[in-house]
Chains A and B, each alone.
Chain A
Amino acid sequence: MENFPLVLIISSIVKILIVVHLLLIGVMVMIWAERRVSGWMQDRLGPNRVGPQGLLQPIADGLKFLFKEDLIPDHVDKPLYVMAPAMLLVPALVAVAVVPFGSAITVFGHEIPLQIADINIGILYILAITSLGVYGVVLGAWASNNKYSLLGGLRSSAQMISYELTLGLGIIGILMLTSSLSLRTIAVEQGAYPWQWNFLIHFPAFLAFTTAMFAETNRLPFDLAEAEQELVAGYHTEYSSMKFAMFFMAEYMNMIVGSAVTVTLFLGGWHFFGLENMGGPVWSGLISFGIFFVKTAIFLFVFIWVRWTLPRFRYDQLMNFGWKFLLPVALTSIVVTGILWITTNSRLIVGIGNVVSAFIVVSIVASLLVMKTPKPAIQDSDNRLTPSALDAIE
């Protein structure tokens, strides 16, 4: 046990407590923000009665969920039915362990990095843990013993498997230039100024990664797993009370973790024009945490913004988009980054080359698709596009 000094244990416990609570509070704030922002975008009010600006609404909702009857239908597979919400929630909570949410704080002469665990293979760990999330959806859908649930689960698993590839391939360019899998190293390497951050060097990969992330979190425009008009509520149709709430918490937690990972990988982590180095050893740590927090919050706003802007994809469009556009773009980005980095060793040329090559690939694929003129697998009988009007909470 002498390998584990007391400071490390205590600081780890404190960090875990803070991060988990931040996540839980973040989920509540996100639910409130989603409803308020959607109200604002649709020119209505949204919840504004409980507490100032309706801020206490998520707490009221949470209490309501807790005190509702926990109904388990007769026809379900009970062990898997009970386990499924936890199977979705746990990966979301565990994945945040390797995300660095600030530089370091020095307390009582000990430098404490603002990260729960800095492991060598951080980004692989994230990919591994997030790939577990699909089990919650699939098992919950199967255990519900309901055709709508099963259809939602099948759609969701096909979608998650397809977009996971893009998610993994999109980060390889970064790994080549950073030559490390540790999230902290990736964040540190990016430097203080926005034009040094990875999203400019790997712009196509950044777009592909972000889109794949939207698909992984099952958000609109990718929410075919719970398309209300077609599948009642998808994989969680049979769930009620706190189990249903856990599905929702997992979705929002995945969004928060995904945003934090994107900020770390592509948007410079806690760097912002050298502001993170101001102040003493304590203040610089707190400021860096604040910068990271604000960046994540902005990215979360983009999540909501996209949800209430874009209508849902049709299933064949979703698969075409994933396999014929995102995957080639991510693959090209790897090849181009590798070749240009070895030959020129200049980030500027890699960045330009990436954009140009992605443009060429997308035009080639698009022209091939146009030449083949495929008939849509599902005919659009009515051309009206109806974005989901159902509020997620209700």
Chain B
Amino acid sequence: MEFTLKTFIFYGFALMTVASALIVVTVRNIVHAAFSLMVTLFGVAGLYVFLQADFLAATQVIVYVGGILVLILFGVMMTSERFDMPIQVKGHIERGQLFLGGVIALALLMLLLTVIANTPAWKNLTDDGTELPPTTARIGELILNGQFLLPFEVVSVLLLVALIGAALISRKEVRD
């Protein structure tokens, strides 16, 4: 494999993603973990860019980094009395739990490795200098004219239901 500027940047993003993901699961402070998760999600967005999925990358940053994670941080700061309390496991861990967790993690790893091994061509589509058309137009066509109209609508109705449910649960009864 030739070593170009692109591969250099790619490994930079990959390292960023993996290292910060490791920090997320090892660090004791929950706000540090959340901050590290932000770096992870950002690195994944960078990897999406390398896969020519620019729309997905931007959406990833808008939805996960700018939306969900901020809400998590907000929730942590707003709700818990001692938000700077270190995360710790209370009591001892059962053997069975360790075993089950290990099996699930291993199965996931095997699944991902199979997908990686079975993907035919790992090459950058623009390496030969051709410029791809914008992905947004294609996504829009597929969602609104094509085969993904029904799933799209089903997902949006599901999200609407979740939204109304959240509003109903958090709403206080107003008596005047």
Question: What is the interface of chain A, defined by CB distance below 8 A to chain B?
Answer: 1-4, 77, 79-80, 119-121, 124-125, 127-129, 131-132, 134-135, 138-139, 142, 145, 150, 153-154, 157-158, 160-161, 164, 168, 179-182, 375
14 additional contacts, CB 8 Å, given A154-B74, A375-B176? A1-B5, A2-B129, A3-B126, A77-B29, A119-B54, A120-B134, A121-B136, A131-B67, A135-B38, A138-B77, A139-B35, A142-B31, A142-B73, A181-B136
Q: Are B77 and A154 in contact (CB under 8 A)?
A: yes
Of B32, B55, B77, B126, most buried by chain A (CB within 10 Å of CB) is B77
Residue of B with least CB distance to A3:
B129
A164 to B136, CA, bound (A): 21
The answer to whether A80 touches B32 (Cβ under 8 A) is yes
B61's partner among A2, A131, A139, A180 (CB-CB below 8 A) is A131
Flag if A139 contacts B31 (CB, 8 Å). yes
Q: Across the interface, name the chain B residue whose C-beta is closest to A151.
A: B77
Which B residues, 32 to 60, have Cβ-Cβ distances below 8 Å to chain A? 32, 35, 38, 45, 54-55, 58-59
A161 touches which of B61, B70, B134, B137 (Cβ 8 Å):
B70
Instruction: Indicate if the CB atoms of A80 and B31 lie closer than 8 Å.
Output: yes
The CA-CA distance from A164 to B62 in the complex, in Å, is 10
CA of A79 to CA of B27, assembled, Å: 13
Q: Are A124 and B59 in contact (CB-based, < 8 A)?
A: yes
CA distance A142 to B33 in the complex (A): 14
A120 touching B136 in the complex, CB below 8 Å, given contacts A3-B129, A125-B58, A375-B176: yes
Kindly state the separation between the CA atoms of A2 and B128 in the bound complex, as whole angstroms.
10
Question: What separation, in Å, do the CA atoms of A124 and B62 have in the docked complex?
Answer: 8
Q: Which of A3, A120, A157, A160 contacts B54 (CB 8 A)?
A: A120
- Asked whether B78 is an interface residue with its Cβ less than 8 Å from the other chain, the reply is yes
Residues A132 and B54 in contact in the complex (CB < 8 Å), given A142-B31, A161-B71: no
* B residues in contact with A164, CB < 8 Å: 66
B65 within 8 Å of A by Cβ?
yes
Contact between B58 and A124 (Cβ–Cβ < 8 Å)?
yes
A–B Cβ pairs within 8 angstroms, 7 of them: A3-B129, A121-B58, A138-B77, A145-B84, A154-B78, A161-B70, A181-B134
User: How far apart sit A247 and B119, CA to CA, in the bound complex (Å)?
Assistant: 46
Contact among A80, A121, A150 for B77, CB-based, below 8 A = A150
In the complex, A4→B129 CA distance in Å? 10
Residues of B within 8 A of A181 (CB): 134, 136
Cα–Cα, bound, A121→B73 (Å) = 28
Q: Are A127 and B73 in contact (CB under 8 A)?
A: no
A131-B66 CB under 8 A given contacts A124-B59, A139-B31: yes
Q: A128-B66, A161-B71 are in contact. Are A142 and B77 (CB under 8 A)?
A: yes
**Total of A-B residue pairs, C-beta within 8 Å:** 85
Do the beta carbons of B136 and A157 come within 8 Å of each other? no
Nearest chain B residue, comparing its CB with the CB of A122: B58
Which of A79, A153, A161 contacts B67, CB < 8 Å?
Answer: A161
Task: Check B55–A121 contact: CB distance below 8 A.
Answer: yes
Bound: A119/B32 CA distance, A: 33
Distance (Å) between the CB of A168 and the closest chain B CB? 8
Docked pose: A160 CA to B176 CA in angstroms: 31
The answer to the question of B26 belonging to the interface, with a C-beta cut-off of 8 Å to chain A, is no
Nearest CB of A to B157, in Å: 17
- The verdict on B135 contacting chain A, using a C-beta distance below 8 Å, is yes
B58 and A157 within 8 A (CB) = no
The answer to whether B147 has its CB under 8 Å from any CB of chain A is no
Whether B4 lies near A1 (C-beta < 8 A) is: yes
A160 to chain B, nearest CB (A): 8
| A4 and B126 alpha carbons, distance in the complex (Å) | 12
Contacts of A142 in B (CB 8 A): 31, 73, 77, 83
Q: Which of B59, B74, B83, B84 contacts A158 (CB 8 A)?
A: B74
A132 and B41 CA atoms in complex are apart in Å by: 12
Give the Cβ gap from A117 to chain B, nearest Cβ, in Å.
Answer: 12
**Least CB separation from B61: chain A residue:** A128
- Give the CA-CA distance A18 to B102 in the complex, in Å: 54
Q: CA separation between A295 and B88, bound complex, in Å?
A: 55
Q: Is the CB of B65 within 8 A of A153?
A: no
- The answer to whether B67 touches A80 (Cβ under 8 A) is no
Residues of B contacting A153 in the complex (Cβ-Cβ under 8 angstroms): 77
A129 to B58, CA, bound (A): 9
Q: Quick one: closest A residue to B128, CB to CB? A: A3
Which residues between 113 and 136 of chain B lie within 8 Å of chain A, taking CB atoms?
A: 126, 129, 134-136
Chain B residues contacting A131 (CB-CB under 8 Å) are 61-62, 65-67, 70
Q: How far is the CA of A4 from the CA of B38 in the complex (A)?
A: 31
Q: Kindly list the 7 A-B residue pairs having the minimum CB-CB distance in the complex, ordered from nearest.
A: A131-B66, A128-B61, A124-B58, A120-B134, A128-B62, A128-B58, A121-B58
